[in-house]
Structure 1
């Protein structure tokens, strides 16, 4: 039994920071297992956050420079983490930070140069997990469902509440997943305007009131009518959601309150659409930053109803599930096994995705 010792790296659309998870991953009797040994969340400086946030607008030359700079940043942070680690690291699996995602045009790009990450950290790197799937006519997202399939298959639905919300479930023997829509991205946008990183435990949102006009506008967005597979990101938020926020006269508390209700209504719609009507004991496994927001979770449970139980795991798993799954994807890449599912992305075939970089010998 071979145990892989992997650093999984994740930076999500909510721009909270860089998540690092030191994981042990092994296969035993045909079943994958994991243990998250140590973690770290590296805050971005205001400058780095702005660079990443505005990467989509950069010239080709400036974008290429940010790709290199961010790769070195990832290398430095992982090197510091490894120096304080009690244990060996076989390799690093890095998601990078998505700057462009337009799969319908065959475009996706994750910042964080893999060669510079390998050179700076001194470790083998597996990264760039989306490009191959997009080249196979897939959405290149979501990728986390391979982890739901192999590590969390006992749950009927797996919900991730990051910058956006995505869901994963088994239907007719196949893993299906797609981006439902919004989660923390609008919430964090509003709190940043208030000079706060986020709304701790949803306290501000809880104290707000529902803006019915705005809720109707959000619920009527075209994206929600599109069939899956589908994925979205910051481009959609910028073009469709920001104008609604900026034209609203509602207070920040009311905006937060309304967005949580909107998010939860759309999630509940998705779950009810795909739930097996004969099942009375359905479990939904909720992770990502939104799972730490008690008002979000309470509102979601209310919209789902009593037949569907929201299961919230430990804070470590909530925060680092995505980093864990990228560590798993790195392991599968090195073993030559499928790590991106066509049933999820709509690609022409399953794939074993990811580029491998070895540190340059000085």
Structure 2
């Protein structure tokens, strides 16, 4: 394969919007390389934000209708992006938006119909990257580690701070990765209660103080004691975390401050435990990497042998969209893009379903 242009789409559990990244991939021998082209982030309006947040409670029929409508909306955004940039796009690779993630029940659901998407933008589209892994007994998450291994191998650890935090690293010749726990999800939830999309740079959190009882309750959540491979999602946040955040009369500043204390406690526990060499590089991406207060709190809790690596702004914001585009490239080559060492599946999987548009 000389080169291929794939537009990666990512919508995360933090509900902040749709990320699009146009990527060119090249392969020489076993070595992959990429160039990140134009990128764009589209914020969800209040209507879409409400629908995506509430869809977890929809009936099967309601969810099916939303699945198709959201797929068409995604395709329209791709068409607009294509028209604005007048660039060649060979394929679209879409993560969709996760509504249900219950690998313990053998089920995961990312809405955004790949066929409706392909028809709306007139481009072949790859979607539904998680189902194959779950069908093989895996967690279906995290999926980004295949890109960490093949595109970002110079870093000892790759930490993504989206709605959920997840980490990826090599151990005994295998790629290990799992969801550590909370990241932006509680921070955005609390910010939206006071009319803000998010706490910019952690300014409100910096003004608060720790609520000891809440911090103890958050750190005691049973999920953190589970061994990897493990993954989690909005269901866990809704049932286990929101009740703790609502059962208090403390200020938003104190709640945000306490959540950052909790998030960085759990991140440091996991990363420090795995960082056994003399020197490690930690690449941090995702929206949480732009939260100055969160990053300061994390740096203060990491062992001295761990060096935070400064990623470019585009890498921070669009790494997940980039890697889903890369997963699409692997799918087109019939190469595994879901690692069983990460997800616990019976075998490595080739995830993704290809949809051809009705030209």
**TM-score in terms of structure 2 length:** 0.99
Q: 1:287-326 maps to which residues of 2 (within 5 A)?
A: 287-326=285-324
1:183 and 2:183 matched:
yes
For 2:73, the equivalent position in structure 1 comes to: 73
Tell me the SS of whatever aligns to 1:321.
Answer: helix
For 2:258, the equivalent position in structure 1 comes to: 258
For 1:98, the equivalent position in structure 2 comes to: 98
Q: Distance in 2 between matches of 1:203 and 1:31?
A: 42
Contact 2:272–2:303 (Cα < 8 Å) also in 1: no
Q: 1:152-171 maps to which residues of 2 (within 5 A)?
A: 152-171=152-171
**Backbone CA RMSD of aligned residues:** 0.8
Q: Distance in 1 between matches of 2:218 and 2:172?
A: 31
Q: Distance in 2 between matches of 1:324 and 1:268?
A: 26
Contact 2:24–2:37 (Cα < 8 Å) also in 1: yes
Tell me the SS of whatever aligns to 1:138.
Answer: coil
Please list the CA deviations of residues 97-123 of structure 1 after superposition, one character each: whole Å capped at 9, or x if unmatched. Answer: 001100010110110001110000000
Structure 1 residue 311, shift from structure 2 partner: 1.3
1:332 and 2:330 matched:
yes
Structure 1 residue 30, shift from structure 2 partner: 2.2
Please list the CA deviations of residues 142-192 of structure 1 after superposition, one character each: whole Å capped at 9, or x if unmatched. Answer: 000001010011111100000010000000000000000000000000000
Tell me the SS of whatever aligns to 2:180.
Answer: strand
Q: 1:93-242 maps to which residues of 2 (within 5 A)?
A: 93-242=93-242
For 1:9, the equivalent position in structure 2 comes to: 9
Contact 2:106–2:135 (Cα < 8 Å) also in 1: yes
Q: Distance in 2 between matches of 1:207 and 1:31?
A: 47
**TM-score in terms of structure 1 length:** 0.98
Contact 1:169–1:176 (Cα < 8 Å) also in 2: yes
Q: Distance in 1 between matches of 2:69 and 2:45?
A: 14
Q: Distance in 1 between matches of 2:103 and 2:17?
A: 25
Contact 1:290–1:296 (Cα < 8 Å) also in 2: yes
Structure 1, unpaired ranges of 5+: none
Please list the CA deviations of residues 51-72 of structure 1 after superposition, one character each: whole Å capped at 9, or x if unmatched. Answer: 1111110011110000000000
Q: Distance in 2 between matches of 1:332 and 1:199?
A: 37
1:84 and 2:84 matched:
yes
Structure 1 residue 212, shift from structure 2 partner: 1.2
Structure 1 residue 29, shift from structure 2 partner: 4.1
Q: Distance in 2 between matches of 1:148 and 1:207?
A: 35
Structure 1 residue 305, shift from structure 2 partner: 3.0
Structure 2, unpaired ranges of 5+: none
Structure 1 residue 85, shift from structure 2 partner: 1.5
Please list the CA deviations of residues 301-332 of structure 1 after superposition, one character each: whole Å capped at 9, or x if unmatched. Answer: 10103221111301110000000000000000
Q: Distance in 2 between matches of 1:316 and 1:61?
A: 38
Could you list the runs of 4 or more consecutive aligned residues of structure 1 that deviate by over 3 angstroms after TM superposition?
none
Count matched residues.
Answer: 359
Contact 1:287–1:312 (Cα < 8 Å) also in 2: no
Which stretch has the larger CA shift, 36-45 or 305-314? 305-314
